[in-house]
Structure 1
Amino acid sequence: MPKFRKTDKTAELELLYRNLCELHKDAKINMNPDVKEQLQAESTKHKGVGGGSLLTAELRQAAKELRESKDIVIHRADKSDLFVILNRSDYFDKVDSLFQDSSKFLQIRRSPIPTPTYQLAKQLNDLITPYIPTLHSLRSTDEFVDILRNTAPQGKLASLDVESLFSNLPVEETIQIILQNVFNHNSLPPPKLPRDTLEKMLRVCTKEAPFRCPSGRHELVSPVPGVYFSMWISVKGPS
């Protein structure tokens, strides 16, 4: 289980309460007058941690040895509950090679504030999601499997991947596509904020968001002209 962080949980519940209040104000929902007290009580609860374990003593010892090994790196796989075990030196070499691209990363001399855009990014995600075209999108792997089973499509099925996807995205172009869809949607009205404000918010979350690197040998960040993503690499060691 992930480590319980009361501050994070409290912040999440406060954000939920504000969203509920907005929906109630717009007459989209009816809200119980006790909901604020209920959410406050929920913020103090520490659920899903502790209890029994399916691991034997031998498996726990093996996991401990893997975690403490200096020769490997263990990370959760992207969009999956699986874990990936990598050779540490290969992993650091690959990460460092990405940072050599000066068009995307710029060295800095001091660390920025940690995760300054976290809540902003979550708000933006909720704001722009309704405007995202869904004609060629899938919500889950299960939906894809259902399509294959029920429609029996003809032809060949292929899977395409992109090398270093996030650092190769044309962010400025993507921002303009988002703005075009949000403020010129066929059926939905635009959000209650100016276009230039949304543009600035998107740019902050994509070009000024710090990231912590595990090697701890450099500090990099953008924005600079032409830079797509920003990155902060801690000098305090692996994270």
Structure 2
Amino acid sequence: MTTYFGFAAKHRNLYVGAQPAAELLLLYPRSAVQRGDVEPVARFKAIGKQLAREGYTFDIVPDDIVTAAQIASRRAVVQTDPRSSRREEAPSLKSEIGNRKPEIKQSLLTSAATRAGGVHWLTVATVLTDDQVAKWRKELASVTRREGVPTVVTSVLSQPKRRIVHLVNYNREEPPKARAMGSGPHEEKPLAVEGVTVRLALQPGERVKSIRLLSPDAGVSTGPAGLVQRAGEAAFTVPRMLIYTVAVAELE
């Protein structure tokens, strides 16, 4: 643990003042919890797992305190409680469904996708299917995403002229089922992964000047990273990582 604390202290400038910058916002349905309705919470957990598994980077904000500015700065918003106080940001489910055929109604109830103020609104109003996120590929096309290596989860923060991607690898050697765990960090047996590609979404007019990889782990890839850049996106690959890697993208 001291290695990681030392890394954070050494690179303090990458953490202080950095702001959440994921293009995708997942709303926690606290309004539903306050009403005594926990079904939206189950959908929230399920869709969050799907998004992480598919590699999408997202931030989480409770739906009862999210601001208009937080919504306007995103490209897509996922909500699991159609009755939340933010439902007026998109056409209501009722107006979306109308007098459609039963099979179309079910599709709309499961995933009502609208676009308001330049933001895609994706509403999960019923039990979702295992391929729900795959159905949103078009709406999520401009969201930062990790490709391959499903054990790696990413988050994106921003500073002036800089985007910082944090990558955490949960791949490990699983202990025997009969063995009791909890005696300390020495029980963790992480397994390295290779070829982790990140497609970093960019704002209009932005370009990446350089990307460098940092990590407190030994025997992993650090230093400059190659990138492939096109309008609206910069893709780079982490050749090898163990537990934690930071990719610092300097913008121009």
TM-score by length of 2: 0.19
Q: Which has the larger radius of gyration?
A: 1
TM-score by length of 1: 0.20
Name the structure where strand makes up a greater proportion of residues: 2
